[in-house]
């Protein structure tokens, strides 16, 4: 619990000690009052400091090293995740060694024409399941959004991997036309991000090589692009096609049927547990702040 509280641990400890005099407390109270910010915003700012410290400590750790560290952690699902992934790959004719090679190459190389991965297939075929667990290891971004200037979010996010689930490309989207999308997926180390021209904002340079994985129904066939333009977009990815879904596995009375059902229940339980832990953490942080201001 003390490790989870992070920067609030010292605050809570100080609050349990001798009380400050009213004169000593006033500067701090005046500062907080003059900020005119909700308590939630203050908590976010303090937690951002903790995140920055964590980022600095992990800056020297490569993506492959993080993957290796995660692989050394004890398994919490009795190998159900591995079995399900192997089942998905096997039933769709994809060699597990090829899939693993593509993932490790992507993590090593970063975002580039020869490394980006696109998983194509219909709903329920398991393409999202194959890659979603990477979000437990790296800071991920799951969508660029459908509004104008979708890349603007990268100015505020320190992304380690893009897992763009159910990705849809719209060449008419302001700030992400073909001349923006191609360099992004190409992996240019200095990418100019177009920002809305409001206030004092101006275009900025993005220098992150975070890898890209997308899941899509099929290869790009945008009606607003020419055949050559669609081809250029498709060439930015290595494509893996999936056709068989979970329901196909179960319908064949495969021995893994019981495990897949258990896996679904396990995933639901894990999500509920994560939500409960998040709520408990929020309450603990609020209590620590209240004690500090008392």
pLDDT of residue 211: 95
pLDDT bucket at 109, cuts 50 / 70 / 90: very high
For residue 97, give every residue at least 6 positions away whose Cβ sits within 8 Å of its Cβ, in sequence order, or none: none
d(CA 116, CA 110): 8
pLDDT of residue 9: 34
pLDDT of residue 34: 65
What average pLDDT does the structure give for the chain? 77
pLDDT bucket at 76, cuts 50 / 70 / 90: confident
Q: Report the C-alpha dihedral over residues 251, 253, 257, 258, rounded to 10 degrees.
A: 130
Take residue 159 and report the two structure tokens written for it. Answer: 């992304």
For residue 96, give every residue at least 6 positions away whose Cβ sits within 8 Å of its Cβ, in sequence order, or none: 85, 86, 89, 90
Q: How far is CA 35 from CA 12, 32, 38, 109, 256, in A?
A: 22, 5, 9, 44, 57
Residues of the chain with CATH 3.40.50.300: 63-254
Statement: residue 18 has pLDDT above 70: no
pLDDT of residue 238: 96
pLDDT bucket at 270, cuts 50 / 70 / 90: very low
d(CA 182, CA 237): 11
d(CA 131, CA 109): 17
Q: Could you tell me which CATH number the domain at 63-254 has?
A: 3.40.50.300
Statement: residue 95 has pLDDT above 90: yes
Look up the pTM and report it.
0.66
pLDDT bucket at 289, cuts 50 / 70 / 90: low
Which of 53 and 271 is assigned the larger pLDDT? 53
Contact 189, 209 (CB under 8 A): yes
Helix (H, G, I), strand (E, B) or coil at 163: strand
Take residue 12 and report the two structure tokens written for it. Answer: 């809570």
């Amino acid at each position: 619990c003390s490790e989870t509280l992070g920067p609030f641990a010292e605050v809570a400890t100080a609050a349990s000690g001798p009380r400050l005099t009213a004169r000593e407390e006033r500067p701090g109270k005046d500062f907080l009052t003059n900020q005119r910010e909700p308590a939630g915003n203050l908590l976010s700012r303090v937690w951002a400091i903790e995140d920055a410290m964590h980022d600095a400590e992990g800056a020297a750790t490569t993506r492959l090293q993080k993957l290796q560290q995660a692989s050394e952690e004890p398994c919490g699902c009795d190998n159900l995740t591995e079995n399900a992934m192997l089942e998905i790959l096997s039933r769709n004719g994809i060699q597990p060694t090829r899939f693993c090679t593509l993932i490790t190459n992507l993590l090593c190389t970063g975002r580039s024409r020869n490394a980006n991965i696109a998983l194509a297939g219909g709903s329920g075929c398991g393409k999202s399941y194959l890659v979603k667990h990477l979000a437990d290891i790296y800071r991920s971004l799951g969508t660029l959004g459908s509004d104008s200037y979708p890349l603007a979010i990268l100015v505020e996010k320190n992304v380690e991997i893009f897992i763009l689930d159910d990705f849809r490309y719209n060449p008419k989207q302001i700030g992400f036309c073909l001349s923006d999308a191609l360099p992004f997926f190409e992996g240019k180390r200095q990418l100019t991000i177009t920002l809305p021209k409001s206030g004092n904002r101006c275009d900025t340079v993005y220098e992150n090589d975070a890898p890209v994985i997308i899941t899509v129904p099929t290869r790009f066939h945008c009606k607003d692009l020419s055949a050559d333009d669609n081809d250029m977009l498709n060439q930015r990815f290595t494509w893996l096609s999936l056709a068989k879904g979970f329901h196909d596995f179960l319908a064949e009375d495969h021995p893994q049927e019981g495990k897949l059902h258990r896996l679904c229940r396990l995933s639901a339980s894990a999500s509920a547990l994560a939500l409960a832990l998040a709520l408990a953490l929020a309450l603990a942080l609020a209590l620590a702040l209240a004690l500090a201001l008392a």
